[in-house]
Amino acid sequence: MPQAQHSNPVFPQWQEGQKWRVEYLRNVPSTEMKSGGQIPPPQRAVWQYQVSRLDSRKGGPAVLSLQEEGGDGKFEISLDPAAFTLLSVSEISGGRNIGIITNPALDSFLSIPTGYPVIFDWPRFPAKRSNASRNFVTSEGHRVKEEILFDGHSHFKISMSYREQRAEGLVQTIHSTQSWQAGRPWWDSASAESEMIVGGEKSLYWSISGKLIF
């Protein structure tokens, strides 16, 4: 069975056909939040992930297939087999493969705009176990700050932050965080949120959190 064996031990370790489950809680924009009414509870969904293609000797990217349990949602995530960076995301609908994300830069990816039912944000994994901070530019020209912080030998957290002034007095911020353990197939927990700052006053526009439940 093909396996994702990398010289970098920080990379996730996968086997073709391997599966895991992730629980998501998602808050979406709501008029109730602005009118002072009761804030609706987050939407809960469980998604199954499967490594559907991994053998780099056959050519092409590594592919993860995502399926919403009890729902119709389906996605495919393609990753560069060597750099392990995100290449693209497609939505599977009506038997068609519809591209929704492309990331040709072989670098980290932060979802701008936000709003997807799962977290697609994906780091460029560190080459060694050490804290680091850097900036990268997305294919759309957005400047993002990425920070890596290790807690011991195998646990590390990766965060990505973005800030844009969209109009006079209107600023949008996006912050995404993932907690990883070296050797596991997926992050243990992750979150992403977008805030709007209007005239210096913050309001949560959108948020999602996820945790690995196997």
Instruction: Answer whether residue 13 is part of any domain.
Output: no
Instruction: Answer whether residue 33 is part of any domain.
Output: no
Instruction: Answer whether residue 96 is part of any domain.
Output: yes
Cα dihedral: 204, 210, 211, 214 (round 10): 170
Q: What tens digit of pLDDT does each residue of 166-184 get? A: 888 899 999 999 999 988 9
pLDDT in the model for residue 33: 46
Q: How confident is the model at residue 128 (pLDDT cuts 50, 70, 90)?
A: confident
**Residue among 116, 122, 101 nearest 43 (CA):** 116
Instruction: Answer whether residue 203 is part of any domain.
Output: yes
Q: Which domain holds residue 181?
A: 19-28+41-212
The backbone region for 199, taken as left when phi is positive above 0, alpha when psi lies in -120 to 50, beta otherwise, is left
pLDDT at position 2 over 70: no
**Residue among 22, 18, 3, 9 nearest 187 (CA):** 22
pLDDT in the model for residue 177: 98
pLDDT in the model for residue 29: 65
Mean pLDDT over all residues of the chain? 89
pLDDT at position 38 over 70: no
Q: What is the pTM assigned to this prediction?
A: 0.89
Q: How confident is the model at residue 30 (pLDDT cuts 50, 70, 90)?
A: low
Report d(CA 187, CA 182) in Å as an integer: 9
Q: What tens digit of pLDDT does each residue of 65-122 get? A: 999 999 999 999 999 988 899 999 999 998 899 999 999 888 999 998 778 999 999 9
Instruction: Answer whether residue 10 is part of any domain.
Output: no
Domain count, the chain: 1
Instruction: Answer whether residue 102 is part of any domain.
Output: yes
pLDDT in the model for residue 205: 83
Instruction: Answer whether residue 2 is part of any domain.
Output: no
Instruction: Answer whether residue 114 is part of any domain.
Output: yes
Q: How confident is the model at residue 31 (pLDDT cuts 50, 70, 90)?
A: very low
Could you give the angle at the alpha carbon of 208 between the alpha carbons of 120 and 117, nearest 5°?
55
pLDDT in the model for residue 1: 53
Q: What percent of the chain has pLDDT over 90?
A: 64
Mean pLDDT, rounded, for 30-46: 68
Chain length of the chain: 214
